[in-house]
Chains A and B, each alone.
Chain A
Amino acid sequence: MNKPDMEFVKTHFAKELPYVAALNMRFDELTEGVAVMTMPYDARLVGDPESGVIHGGAVSALMDTTCGAAVFSHPEASMGTATIDLRIDYMRAAKPGREITARAECYHVTRSVAFVRATATDGEGDTPVATATGAFTVDRAASEGKA
């Protein structure tokens, strides 16, 4: 199976995955092994009613999606991938009202695993809102056209 054109993926992917669409995520960038996605601020995603800060669970979804996109855009990985594990460090609260942008990089791919790290920012200062590290599945046979 040949991989679809990444420009095509960029415009269709976010709309066709129901949960990604529900959170209104969009692609900013998708190149080989690197993905950048943005999630707009939405009052329905608030986790702390007192401050209006977005729930970590919504940030997790942005991180997971962006990391997965970084994996399938990597030339040595397959289009189909699944999260094996994802760890998120929440460094500070995202500023209420600000959209959150995640940048993920797939920095190593073996025959069966892709390693990814990601950073989420809200445009306020130099400290990211959160960082993530994850491992994702790679179906090498599929990516080599043997499946």
Chain B
Amino acid sequence: MSRRPPEPVQVVKQRRDAALAALVGSVPFISFLGVTFDRRGDELTAILPYRRDLIGNPMLPALHGGATAGFLEITALIGLSWGMLWEQVETGAVDVAALGEGWCPKLPKTIDFATDFLRSGLPRDAYARAEITRSGRRYASVRVEAWQDNRQRPHAQAIGHFVMPQGPMA
């Protein structure tokens, strides 16, 4: 039995980055808010770069709670979808070449989303990570935490429930 040689690292990276970019790029609201994702292996950190457009209280100033809640919901949805897409791309079930322009992924649907505003959002970049606490065939529960300057002092957290899409993503 012959063993396949490991793929060159740049091929692996290119495939994973292309899959993530296609997923994130398919959702207009993500670019409206300006959210980007930093990938380390399969782990994602969502980034919301500060813009004046995100301010809800110009007196303080503070980020709008709706911008923060939207950022967290995006983080949860991409976290869930990325989990599925990663699996399908790595096993070869989905070909990255099929994820081009005009690809409409089947995304999870939010059932409910509860955001806890722990601190006022500063006029600075924000970061968030999603933790999938349960992912079943039909439903998933996700916890999201967001922070700014200090990872130990989150400014918001959220719990959401989602209906999972069925079948391959592409």
Residues of chain A touching chain B, judged by Cβ–Cβ distance below 8 Å, are 16-20, 22-23, 43-50, 54-58, 60-65, 68, 80, 82-90, 93
**A62 in contact with B28 (CB, 8 Å):** no
**16 additional contacts (CB under 8 A) given A43-B28, A57-B66, A57-B71:** A17-B58, A18-B64, A19-B55, A19-B64, A19-B66, A47-B29, A47-B107, A56-B113, A57-B73, A64-B56, A65-B56, A65-B64, A68-B65, A82-B117, A88-B69, A90-B110
- Chain B interface helix/strand/loop/mixed: mixed
Asked if B84 is at the interface (CB within 8 A of a chain A CB), the reply is no
Could you jot down 16 A-B contacts, CB within 8 Å?
A17-B57, A18-B58, A44-B29, A46-B28, A49-B26, A49-B28, A55-B27, A55-B29, A57-B33, A58-B70, A64-B56, A65-B56, A80-B57, A82-B57, A83-B117, A93-B109
**A87 in contact with B53 (CB, 8 Å):** no
Residues of A with C-beta under 8 A to B59:
80
Asked if B124 is at the interface (CB within 8 A of a chain A CB), the reply is no
Q: How many CB-defined contacts (below 8 Å) exist between A and B? A: 133
Given A46-B28, A55-B29, A90-B110, also A18-B55 (CB < 8 A):
yes
Query: In the complex, A80→B62 CA distance in Å?
Result: 12
Return the contact of A19 from the options B56, B105, B107 (Cβ within 8 A): B56
Residues of A with C-beta under 8 A to B104:
48-50
Given A48-B107, A57-B71, also A64-B65 (CB < 8 A):
yes
